[in-house]
Amino acid sequence: MDQDIERVLVHERRIRDRVAELGARISRDYAGKDLTVVALLKGGVVFLADIIRSISIPMDLDFAWASSYGDRTTSSGNVVLKVVPDTNLRGRHVLLVDDILDTGRTLARVSAELTDRLGAAEVKTCVLLDKAARREVPVHADYVGFEVENVFVVGYGLDFDDRYRNLPYIGVLKPHLYSK
């Protein structure tokens, strides 16, 4: 798999250090509050595992699954919610965790579901990567691991056609592999 990577954008050690910083900040910000972490499947799972272990306060955990990519490299623009949390979120503080914020459509749609339909008191977002150059919806993340340029990234949960998620770093995929 390493041979498919054009260059490493964020090394494993930098990810580990930044996740620890984010976890400490989240722990301070949510101290004394009822926190529920909602992770977006599938890409957010690797980041989720590390971020929740770095949070030092009590929390609940649930999952949502939204998709707009399929086997494509760009969003279709149509966000489909496949799984919605079954935890009672009414009046709770929710931290929505995802791997990447790019167009903003997914975070906007899921955040709206969590507040409008499931009654969360507030929804804040935590993403490993923020790719602002691709933003189509005015959404910002409250907690960001790294800002990245507009390149196709894989690793640490991010995939192309469900591959490369298990790389321990964030890498730029060689264009000939996804431009067929």
DSSP letters along 108-124, please? HHHHHIIIIIT--SEEE
Could you tell me if 72 and 95 are in contact, meaning their C-beta atoms sit under 8 angstroms apart? no
Give the DSSP H or E segment for 172. Answer: strand 170-173
**Residue type for 51, please?**
I
DSSP state of 7: E
Single out the residue of 47, 50, 85, 48 nearest to residue 65, CA to CA. 85
Catalytic site includes residue 161: no
> Where do the DSSP E strands lie in 34-106?
35-41, 60-67, 80-83, 93-101
Q: How far apart are CA 54 and CA 125, in angstroms?
A: 16
Which one of 50, 99, 102, 130 is the catalytic residue?
102
Q: Could you count the other beta carbons within 10 Å of the beta carbon of residue 163?
A: 13
Active site residues: 102
